[in-house]
Structure 1
């Protein structure tokens, strides 16, 4: 890999997409996979991850590290995950602060982001049929069913940590479903945080091993589905995005659980209208600002999609 190649404008753009993915994962119920889909790198991400495996080791042994690096699209992955890490340690903290201070506005922005992102996904569906429509409804049902779940409690054993890591990373790849939100639902999230803060290295190894395994296997499955059943897979993903709108609806009624609107468990609170929110809580609904944030997100997504289609047309 040449330094000039990695420092090209393309990889700077990939790194910025990675930063956006890392920031999105901070918002309850929002997945970095959603940002990957919006910005047009979702399929390349799946294809690149699916190439990491036994065949990659064979290429490395027979043809050397440079060919193996090119085979897995290493420059793309490095730029993307570098952006994710930079965001986690910088931009994500700022998003987290905004979420704690102005949760309605942050949720309104991401609500518009997710809603508008269904437009380019539906547009990419090559053909419609009964089975494609059924897959759309199935994705919708899956996302709504997840939103109706309530937190459980499972013990932090090596097996549960491994499976939790695999499940969380699979959810993170899917647009519209947050991996950390899934961890909260199954009750393992506090135990993972405790392992991080207390440096419980063995527990972290179990969790990381599950995440890596889930990432490699699930990316292969999704990549295969995209190649063999593109229309049905895109419809299913669009359905998940539509269903996830219930999770990130901006106005929620705080119940007696003590969950604040800016916390990770906030998507489980009851949705309500802006007017009922004011009547029930006596707080400002920030309706005008929320509409502005929503419209800004919609405009951003449609502009990115329009720019991407024009660039694709010129390159073709």
Structure 2
């Protein structure tokens, strides 16, 4: 049962990583598997079998979520942006009680029940950061078709490092960073083109798209490993401030969601009602998942 549940949670994380403004790291925190995910990555070589057993269902679900939702995202955000964004808003906010509970534990343990100026500063700075980051992107989407030139391959490697590093940090959207840099649609189009070519048995196209996705994937793996080490250190040495910063990122993430998707410009009463129902359902589901891992 836990194996299947971890696959489902991984799929949600994968879907979140596809949507600009939604953080896969936030989803991992909300569903109570963030610490397990980070620990498994950072102890991969020391506890290889245990780490692989923990990571496999999550990564399997994540891959399924990414592949499936790259197709669905165009339809959902193109035709039903408001209900879609409200659903993810619920999924994110449903995990806030668990995060607050963990931060309170850290305060009682490390600070004797006191909140410091440093804790508050961490919250404010990261809250502001998550508001400012979406504003840095251009008003027009940049549509790119990537080709596997030597320069592009090197660039994609570093983009993978940057994107995966931000995906691991709760509250920060790796896909939004890619959009700011102008390569979001290029990567998304490469994924869908790769899958389409694979289904059609067009091996020339498969290899062409693989030449784009493999360096990006290698960079992503390296980025996740490096940033996970840093996150583990912060949780161990600066627990309360780290949770405060993450809480600031999470509470400001709704701005990124609605700003990047222009969901509010597609307002309708029916869309609002459906969206609110899905938001509460998603929030409740995330809350229950987090409680199971409390």
TM class by shorter-chain length? 0.7 to 0.9
Give the distance between the partners of 1:204 and 1:107, measured in 2 at CA.
27
Q: Contact (CA 8 Å) 1:116, 1:298: kept in 2 or not?
A: yes
Q: Could you tell me the TM-score, scaled by structure 2's length?
A: 0.78
2:136 maps to which of 149, 166, 177: 149
Aligned to 1:295: 280
Q: For 1:114, what is the secondary structure of its paired residue?
A: helix
Per the alignment, residue 43 of structure 1 pairs with 35
Query: For residue 62 of structure 2, what is the aligned residue in structure 1?
Result: 84
Match of 1:263 in 2: none
Q: Pick from 194, 209, 219 the counterpart of residue 210 of structure 1.
A: 219
Q: Which runs of 5+ in 1 are unaligned?
A: 1-8, 60-66, 253-265, 310-316
Asked if 1:101 is matched to 2:79, the reply is: yes
Q: Aligned with 2:18: secondary structure? A: coil
Decide which structure has the larger Cα Rg and report it.
Answer: 1
- TM-score (ref. length: structure 1): 0.73
Deviation at 1:92, TM superposition (A): 6.2
The answer to whether the 8 A contact 2:80-2:271 is kept is no
Q: Which has the higher helix share?
A: 2
* Pick aligned residue for 2:117 from 123, 130, 133: 130
**2:33 touches 2:293 (CA, 8 Å); kept in 1?**
no
Aligned to 2:166: 171
Please state if 1:241 is matched with 2:221: no
How many residue pairs get aligned? The number is 263
Q: Deviations over 1:70-129 (max 9, x none)?
A: 3xx111111111112233344664565433332111111111222232222122112122
Residue of structure 2 equivalent to 1:186: 181
Describe the SS at the equivalent of 1:40. Answer: coil
Q: Pick the aligned partner of 2:48 from 48, 68, 72.
A: 68
Higher RCO structure (Cα 8 Å, ≥6 apart): 2
Q: Which moved more, 1:222-231 or 1:154-163?
A: 154-163
Alignment of 1:260-275 (within 5 A): 266-267=260-261, 269=262
The answer to whether the Cα contact below 8 Å between 1:169 and 1:214 also exists between their aligned partners in 2 is yes
| Partners of 1:14 and 1:80 within 8 A in 2 | yes
Query: Is 1:139 paired with 2:126?
Result: yes
1:26–1:96 CA contact under 8 A, matched in 2: no
SS of residue in 1 equivalent to 2:94: helix
Contact 1:23 1:87 in 2 (8 A): yes
1:231 aligns with 2:240: yes
SS where residue 247 of structure 1 aligns? helix
- CA RMSD, 1 decimal: 2.9
Question: 1:143: how far off?
Answer: 0.5
